[in-house]
Structure 1
Amino acid sequence: MKQYPPDLRENYDTNIEQVQSVVYRMLQIIDSICEEFDINYWLDYGTLLGAVRHHGFIPWDFEADIGMLRSDYIVFKEIIEKELPEDLFFQCEETDPEYIFFPVVEAKIRDKYSNYIHDLNHPDRKWHNGIQVDIFVYDIDNKFENCISNAFERNFSKSKIHLLFEEIGYTEKQQFNDHQFPIPIGYDQYLQRNYGDYKILPPIEERNPPYVEVFTPCNHPETLDWYNKL
């Protein structure tokens, strides 16, 4: 039986520390599975920014983002459900038919014990809403030359922050907490297109994470009760 990093959420005092401990464990598990099955991926968006600027999470970040090419995602999708531990859920259009964000983020890994209670825009939500790692799937872009892009960039963003081929030609490893994760070799140019001078912190009033219920799941069938887990 595979050994996974332990869930340490109870070891932390603040809500954001508890959330980040859950997300960090999820990232480690994803990394282990991708390494075993030779699946290439990289830290993306705010998680990439956190890795480069903070060598870990942006202090107020409450989720994580990874990217992978379509060819790698096909392999990932075939094996991930049987490789994940029982307390994690692979969410996509097929595994969660109520998941409405498929046109933006094709898949997520969800924690079964938790719940993003701040999602007030969808009070009748039926999809799984546990702590998440977003999986952005990249294809060759049909609008910008020499680029790859994901569904969000193609359909919902007016920017030009798509990854260039040469920026993702291969990846390098970046320290994130006490683990090394892959990042695009062209991370600097990519982050500048995303965030401008990304080394400057935003105003303090913009550094407030929402409260996440870490020990109470949502009402989805694919959930577990933290207090009865042992």
Structure 2
Amino acid sequence: MQKLSLQEVQNKSIDILVYLDKICRANNLKYTIFYGTLIGLERHQGFIPWDDDIDLVMLRPDYEKLVSILATDSHYQLLSFNNREHFRYPFAKLVDKETTLISNQIYNIEDPLMGVFVDIFPLDGIPETQKGQKEFHDICEQYRLNMMDTTGNKSYARSFSKWKGLVKRVVRYPHYRKVLKEGDDNYWRHQYQVATIKYPIKSAKYCGYLEYIDRNWGVFPTAWFADDQFEDVQFAGYQIMAIKQRKAFLKLRFGDYMKLPPKSEQVTHHPYTFYRK
């Protein structure tokens, strides 16, 4: 295998993004680039120079339609709950089939088809009160963590340190056995999926990606994602979609997002090395 440079990873990620944009437009689906990808748009007009992935978010109904379309697409490989039996993430990844990756995580449970990818996150309706949001988050997050702990390959001991992983194998084993007794990863995946639709997005005042709704930057007005709140922007020379309220999100999430971080923090935070097959 040949290791990919950061520039090659970014180029392949942009190719996936452009492909997704074409499919979404053809099927009247709305998405927005999000998280660090939005910083890249506003500060660099493309990728953050040291970043290695692209993030999209979509309201749950459009997300489900897109995943259904991609499930039968042969150009790229879809990884999601819908088509991978033991997939660890509650969001979808669209993967370049000519690439693969190696994770630095001990006892990792990455899908064997993983390669250079674009993340596609669903936004779900959530309660209006902070208390309700926190309670809902805690329930959904426990389902997600239980799913990951029971997926296999001693995933309950996953760590970025060999020694921490070995300690976790001992310390967390009773918890693993307790959770597994109630159900395997498919059981907990189902519990999570049922919970996500408790507050239908069409009638919810607020929304978010459920893993983050306990944080002050993880809750958004659903009105930000109304059909008329998307616009075309230029990312690395390509026309794609973004929400009009992106500056409000970036200030909420990152504060002074136009300020470069210290040199020591100008590195990717993903534990992957990418290769051409």
CA distance in 1, matches of 2:34, 2:240: 11
Greater Cα shift, 37-46 or 134-143: 134-143
- Equivalent residue, structure 2, for 1:159: 216
State the SS of the aligned residue for 2:261. Answer: coil
Q: What RMSD over aligned residues (CA atoms) do the two structures have, in Å? A: 2.3
TM-score norm. by structure 2 comes to 0.65
* Gapped regions of structure 1 (runs ≥ 5): 1-9, 217-230
C-alpha distance 84-202 of structure 1, shift in aligned 2 (>3 A): farther
Aligned-residue offset at 1:74: 2.2
CA distance in 2, matches of 1:187, 1:117: 33
- Equivalent residue, structure 2, for 1:173: 232
- Equivalent residue, structure 2, for 1:214: 275
228, 248, 251: which one aligns with 1:189: 248
Aligned-residue offset at 1:165: 2.8
Aligned-residue offset at 1:159: 2.9
- Equivalent residue, structure 2, for 1:92: 80
CA distance in 1, matches of 2:111, 2:122: 24
- AA aligned opposite 1:108: K
The number of aligned residues is 198
- Equivalent residue, structure 2, for 1:115: 100
Contact 1:55 1:174 in 2 (8 A): no
Structure 1 vs Structure 2: percent identity of aligned residues? 26
CA distance in 2, matches of 1:160, 1:199: 17
- AA aligned opposite 1:32: K
CA distance in 1, matches of 2:104, 2:20: 25
- Equivalent residue, structure 2, for 1:224: none
Contact 1:89 1:111 in 2 (8 A): yes
- AA aligned opposite 1:63: D
Aligned-residue offset at 1:135: 0.8
State the SS of the aligned residue for 1:188. Answer: helix
Aligned-residue offset at 1:138: 0.9
Q: Which is helix-richer, 1 or 2?
A: 2
- AA aligned opposite 2:117: Q
Is structure 2 residue 70 aligned with structure 1 residue 80? yes
* Gapped regions of structure 2 (runs ≥ 5): 130-203
- Equivalent residue, structure 1, for 2:114: 129
State the SS of the aligned residue for 1:214. Answer: strand
C-alpha distance 193-121 of structure 1, shift in aligned 2 (>3 A): farther
State the SS of the aligned residue for 2:101. Answer: coil
TM-score norm. by structure 1 comes to 0.78
- AA aligned opposite 1:179: Y
- AA aligned opposite 1:113: E
State the SS of the aligned residue for 1:74. Answer: helix
Aligned-residue offset at 1:22: 0.6
State the SS of the aligned residue for 1:26. Answer: helix
Contact 2:94 2:117 in 1 (8 A): yes
CA distance in 2, matches of 1:133, 1:47: 11
State the SS of the aligned residue for 1:75. Answer: helix
- Equivalent residue, structure 2, for 1:55: 45
> Quick one: higher RCO (CA 8 Å, sep 6+), 1 or 2?
2
